[in-house]
Structure 1
Amino acid sequence: MLDKKGNIELKDVSKVYPNGVVGLKDVNLTIGHGEFVMIVGLSGSGKSTLLRAINRLHDVTEGAILIDGQDIMKASGDKLHKIRRSAAMIFQNYNLVKTSSVYRNVMSGRVGYYPAWQAAFGLFKKEDQEMAAANLARVNLLDKYYVKARDLSGGQQQRVGIARALMQKPSVILADEPVSGLDPKTTKVVMNDLKKLNEEDGMTIILNVHSIGLALKYASRIVGLKNGQIIYDKPITEVDKRDFKEIYREAGDDRATADDETEEDK
């Protein structure tokens, strides 16, 4: 039986920014193939720092980060590109070229497989063009193939981001607050798309979120961060909503903020 991909391991990972701010501190975390892990915590707790460290959008100060056994922190050149391709990123602000078509934005997820000059001229293989169409169909946006990204709604732009991520043929998808600012109906569409990738394709999903309700509904495991450290880590079967009180409690704040729900949480 072939080894299943999409395994992440962080060993003693710390991140200190040049201004002295501690982003991560002694983080040890193992995530296995096919998990849907949602990372929760207050703003500034280190959620985005953790996610961006996994595919090395920034370096860490100490520690090792392994993707399917390969330490991305020690990789360079072609090896680094290959490891990065296996962990696709979906951004909070969509990160699309607004003046380009949906098709060109989706194809940008494939540029890592081409020489720079070939990608610059859009000289993509027919099978990759067909893959772009298939991935757009998966997120129900094939009819937007020639539409400019700027003419899409926020939810549609985020789904283009998902289709672009799929072009990398990743085993892991990292999603940084992917539904922030979306209305409840659109949030459900985007989250359901990600859940299908997890269940149907066996992709490992690691997602930052503020919404307690979404975490409880979609996650197979919840990890809580506070001040750059992991203070909570349980499979969804062992999670109690009351556990969030400590994760979200600010210093000196005894209010049970975790009991508050928005409409999208319900």
Structure 2
Amino acid sequence: MATMESPKGTVKIDHVSKVYKNGTVGLDDINLDIKAGEFVVVVGLSGAGKSTLLRAINRLHDVTDGHILIDDEDITEAKGKQLRMIRRNIAMIFQNFNLVNRVSVARNVFNGRVGYYSSIKSALGLYSKEDKQRAENNLERVNMLDKYYTRADELSGGQQQRVAIARAMMQSPTVFLADEPIASLDPKTTKMVMDDLKRLNEELGMTVIVNLHSVPLAREYASRIIGLRGGKLVYDEPIQAVKESDFSEIYAEESDGKD
């Protein structure tokens, strides 16, 4: 009798701390258990540790103590091929989009697939028919297919962020991280990008973890809200239990910021 596979996209953060070389504490003994398919919004002041947390999940920097498990695999201990394989499952977009401005939207989206190709094939753009179809599907998902041949630097900020989402989706990730993805966008474009992320979560069952400054947006989109202050976890509630008054402690000023 076949056993059912556990849903993909779990993130377990076990006693994680991050202390920088100058002594600044970025994260202070963080414990979190994020289930597959959650839409988690992390809130807090600038310097609270939100970006540090997301970058630790993706191993963009190492932690000082503790472990982070992605689908029960320890990314903090992984090396070489194992690390590359775990990272394939974790997509990330940033505040500044990180596109290659001089090339087309399509070429930027294909860049999300480089982990599946040799460096020579990706440099020459020798992508499979299946991946060309995947690129079209992902651009269509964020309503950007009509910009397929457009250079990235001809797009608006919101369009660039949507291309960044399509590029990230090329990894076929189970976990999608977004670090202040709407910080530089106007309200209308903000809604489009947040709706895109919510669609990935609801339609594809993807675990989404987003850093936001906006409390109203957090309450509108999250299934769970996590609050950081001074590198510490000070709040963790499902959206049904969240009250407006809860945010006063999360946003209480610290004497020195850490991010």
Place the TM-score, normalised by the shorter chain, in its bin.
over 0.9
Q: What SS is found at the alignment partner of 1:15?
A: strand
1:18, distance to aligned residue in structure 2 (A): 1.0
Distance 1:251 1:22 in 2: 13
Q: Give the partner amino acid of 2:66.
A: G
Q: Give the partner amino acid of 1:166.
A: M
Please tell me whether the aligned partners of residues 26 and 49 of structure 2 are also in contact (alpha carbons under 8 angstroms). yes
Q: 1:231 aligns with which of 231, 234, 246?
A: 234
Please tell me whether the aligned partners of residues 17 and 63 of structure 2 are also in contact (alpha carbons under 8 angstroms). yes
The runs of at least 4 consecutive aligned structure 1 residues that moved more than 2 Å come to none
Across the two proteins, how many residue pairs are aligned to each other? 252
Q: 2:248 aligns with which of 232, 236, 245?
A: 245
Q: Give the partner amino acid of 1:57.
A: L
Where does residue 194 of structure 2 map in the other structure? 191
Q: Give the partner amino acid of 1:65.
A: I
1:206, distance to aligned residue in structure 2 (A): 0.2
Please tell me whether the aligned partners of residues 100 and 108 of structure 2 are also in contact (alpha carbons under 8 angstroms). yes
Q: 1:104 aligns with which of 102, 107, 115?
A: 107
1:98, distance to aligned residue in structure 2 (A): 0.6
Q: 1:171 aligns with which of 171, 174, 184?
A: 174
1:2, distance to aligned residue in structure 2 (A): 2.2
Q: How does 1:45-84 map to 2 (within 5 A)?
A: 45-84=48-87
Where does residue 264 of structure 1 map in the other structure? none
Distance 2:113 2:230 in 1: 36
Structure 2 stretches of 5 or more lacking a match?
none
Calculate the TM-score normalised by the size of structure 2: 0.96
Alignment RMSD (CA, Å): 0.8
Higher relative contact order (CA 8 A, sep 6+): 2
1:116, distance to aligned residue in structure 2 (A): 1.0
Identical residues among aligned pairs (%):
63
Distance 2:40 2:93 in 1: 15
Distance 2:176 2:254 in 1: 33
Distance 1:55 1:205 in 2: 13
1:201, distance to aligned residue in structure 2 (A): 0.4
Deviations 1:221-261 (A, max 9, x none): 00000011100000000000110011111148xxxxxxxxx
Q: What SS is found at the alignment partner of 1:14?
A: strand
Q: 1:139 aligns with which of 134, 142, 165?
A: 142
Calculate the TM-score normalised by the size of structure 1: 0.94
